[in-house]
Amino acid sequence: MSKIKPSQGAPYARIMGVGGYRPTRVVPNEVILETIDSSDEWIRSRSGIASRHWASEEETVAAMSVEASGKAIADAGITPEEIGAVIVSTVSHFKQTPAIATEIAHKVGAGKPAAFDISAGCAGFGYGLTLAKGMIVEGSADYVLVIGVERLSDLTDLTDRATAFLFGDGAGAVVVGPSKVPAIGPTVWGSEGDKSETIKQTVAWDEFHAERPEKFPAITQEGQAVFRWAVFEMAKVAQQALDAAGITPEDLDVFIPHQANMRIIDSMVKTLKLPEHVTVARDVETTGNTSAASIPLAMERLLATGQAKSGDTALVIGFGAGLVYAATVVTLP
């Protein structure tokens, strides 16, 4: 017989508040065209991106996260001291240790919460959301702050015609707390490691030295391979998430996919046969691909503009480097 006392968690978990931060500098395609041989028309037709935000020196990973987190905490109607854990998904915090989550937790005034980083690329927000849900239900924390944040401009090769126009910077955050009814569905997640070379960093940190001739490490990808995988495989994962939540596309109010590429988004909408009443996030047009930050940023904009409302049922799905993915159905805060 175990002598361990059972945990006292909530029956369910839900997203209680959301916040976002976009850097002040807006970078149109014309700026990208200064370093690659392309055109605004080509970039828009291939990706749907017209502009993106790039961070200044002061808009660090931590600074953007603190801004987004403050908004999420206020939106949730709780105090920073009530946060029991901080989870940060990012691939652009350049220190292996300590985790940037500890600095963010301190700067938002969260006291002494559990704080750690995860690296799951563009699926990172979904991974963090699932971990937070588990903490709430298990009883490890009453409220969990989940942050997706990237400064991908630091990892962009502006001479690479295939990727120079894709990436942007920003931070999105949500507060996850207790719920009496199901408000975050089962997560369908996984990885396909045999495709790990399709999106990668060009040079490993331990291979990079300032005195060597290599360019600073950047993110590169095999665009066509990633596009095919996202279009054909991620629609299946999205359907599995709907099935796991026990709903159909007709039951959805909102679809918030990772903002990687407008063509991918439109193809998923078509494959899933989403009804016309479903609002689809297309934040990529003016924000670009912000990896782990893209879903919470898109969620925040939909709610702020009135395109989505509190209580709506939304399907969220992230996918990217690894290749990894995570999809779930949530009730919007």
pLDDT score recorded for residue 204: 81
**For 278, which DSSP code?**
S
Q: In which band, very low, low, confident or very high, does the pLDDT at 326 lie, cut at 50, 70 and 90?
A: very high
Which one from 106, 258, 261, 277 is the annotated catalytic residue? Answer: 258
pLDDT score recorded for residue 218: 84
Which one from 93, 122, 261, 277 is the annotated catalytic residue? Answer: 122
* Annotation says 29 is catalytic: no
Return the closest-CA partner of residue 174 out of 126, 140, 134, 137.
126
283, 52 in Cβ contact below 8 A? Answer: no
Residue range 265-273: mean pLDDT, rounded = 95
CB proximity list for 213: less than 8 A, separation 6 or greater: none
Q: Name the percent of the chain lying above pLDDT 90.
A: 83
pLDDT score recorded for residue 201: 84
CB proximity list for 280: less than 8 A, separation 6 or greater: 254, 255, 257, 265, 269, 274
Kindly report, residue by residue over 84-117, the tens digit of the pLDDT: 999 999 999 998 889 999 999 999 999 999 999 9
pLDDT score recorded for residue 17: 98
Is the pLDDT at 318 greater than 70, yes or no? yes
User: Among 140-149, 194-203, 315-324, which is the least confidently predicted range?
Assistant: 194-203
b/e sequence 271-286, b meaning 16+ C-beta within 10 Å: ebebeeebbbbbbbeb
Amino acid letter at 326?
A: A
**For 37, which DSSP code?**
S
pTM comes to: 0.92
pLDDT score recorded for residue 250: 97
pLDDT score recorded for residue 252: 97
3-state secondary structure of 28: strand
Structure token pair of residue 275: 């009804």
Residue range 203-207: mean pLDDT, rounded = 78
* Annotation says 258 is catalytic: yes
Distances (CA, A) of 30 to 26, 152, 185, 195, 313: 11, 18, 42, 33, 38
Is the pLDDT at 203 greater than 90, yes or no? no
294, 171 in Cβ contact below 8 A? Answer: no
Taken as a whole, the chain contains a residue count of: 333
pLDDT score recorded for residue 86: 98
Kindly report, residue by residue over 211-254, the tens digit of the pLDDT: 666 677 888 888 888 888 988 899 999 999 999 999 999 999 99
Residue range 303-331: mean pLDDT, rounded = 96
Kindly report, residue by residue over 284-301, the tens digit of the pLDDT: 999 999 999 999 999 999
Q: What is the mean pLDDT of the chain?
A: 94
Residue range 35-50: mean pLDDT, rounded = 96
Residue range 185-200: mean pLDDT, rounded = 92
* Annotation says 277 is catalytic: no
pLDDT score recorded for residue 209: 65
Is the pLDDT at 210 greater than 80, yes or no? no
283, 256 in Cβ contact below 8 A? Answer: no
